[in-house]
Amino acid sequence: MTQTMLQLEGVVAGYGPTTVLDGLALQVRAGDRLAMVGRNGVGKTTALRAIMGLVPIRAGRITFDGRDLAGLAPHRRADLGIGYVPQTRDIFPSLTVEENLVSGLKRRSRAALDEAYALFPRLAERRRNGGSQLSGGEQQMLSVARALLGQPKLLLLDEPLEGLAPLIRQELLRVFRQMSEQTGIPVVVVEQQVDEVLAYAKRAVILNHGTVVHEDSAAGLRQDQAALDRWLGMAVH
């Protein structure tokens, strides 16, 4: 049986008096590509933040690579191998592409930069450009490349396609697919572009009110108009 990398059991979390995650359960195995979808405000970002330790959990358990994450600060979780690319794109606008990548090297040598440039040739072309001069798609590539340089065992992506034009979204997804095939790193991706993310993912969960209400293969959900209508209120082509 494939190894479970990440497991959430009965996770409850929220902000002040508000409960956002209400008994969330998830399992991510090696090689998985899990799309987490759902209407606005159902708790998708909060789920990623809870995994990363940026939102405290009030009940339940999160285990990663066989270890209970309770009480571990976000940087300790990153050290254990959880790579997180937040919606805000985690780059330094005042640094060049190369400087941004170097900041993600941790203890690795600069030779590792070649891996990032091989996967994202566009970043190689822009290596001397400032972070703020990049297009939205290039910024997204840079934040993912930087996260990968930390050699994560799991990658969490929060709305990587947000604000990008259709052609750029297609290019980014093509690079993500290549990255997944080459590295095998399991990915959890939150996305509003449901049709596109389902074409990339292997499995999908739909969240509503902070819990999983529907689970299927990504291909299965793409065909399941009833579930898409009910939980997302949308038509997928």
Ligand X SMILES: Nc1ncnc2c1ncn2[C@@H]1O[C@H](COP(=O)(O)OP(=O)(O)OP(=O)(O)O)[C@@H](O)[C@H]1O
Smallest gap from Cβ 190 to ligand X, in A, equals 6
Of 5, 28, 44, 113, the residue at the interface with ligand X (CB under 6 A) is 44
* Cβ contact 21:50 at 8 Å: yes
Of 8, 11, 20, 134, the residue at the interface with ligand X (CB under 6 A) is 20
Cα gap 27→114, rounded to integer Å: 33
Choices 23-31, 44-52, 73-81, 167-175; region in contact with ligand X by CB under 6 A: 44-52
* Cβ contact 113:98 at 8 Å: yes
* Cβ contact 45:38 at 8 Å: no
**Under rule CB under 6 A, residue 41 binds ligand X:** yes
What does the angle CA 132 – CA 201 – CA 118 come to, to the nearest 5 degrees? 50
Choices 37-45, 57-65, 89-97, 178-186; region in contact with ligand X by CB under 6 A: 37-45
Choices 41-49, 145-153, 175-183, 195-203; region in contact with ligand X by CB under 6 A: 41-49
The count of residues interacting with ligand X (CB under 6 A) is 11
Of 46, 100, 139, 193, the residue at the interface with ligand X (CB under 6 A) is 46
The one-letter amino acid code at 64 reads F
Q: At what angle do helices 166-183 and 136-149 cross, to 10 degrees?
A: 10
Of 7, 43, 83, 196, the residue at the interface with ligand X (CB under 6 A) is 43
| Burial (CB count <10 Å: 0-12, 13-18, 19+), residue 75 | exposed
Give residues in contact with ligand X (CB under 6 A). Answer: 15, 20, 38, 40-46, 192
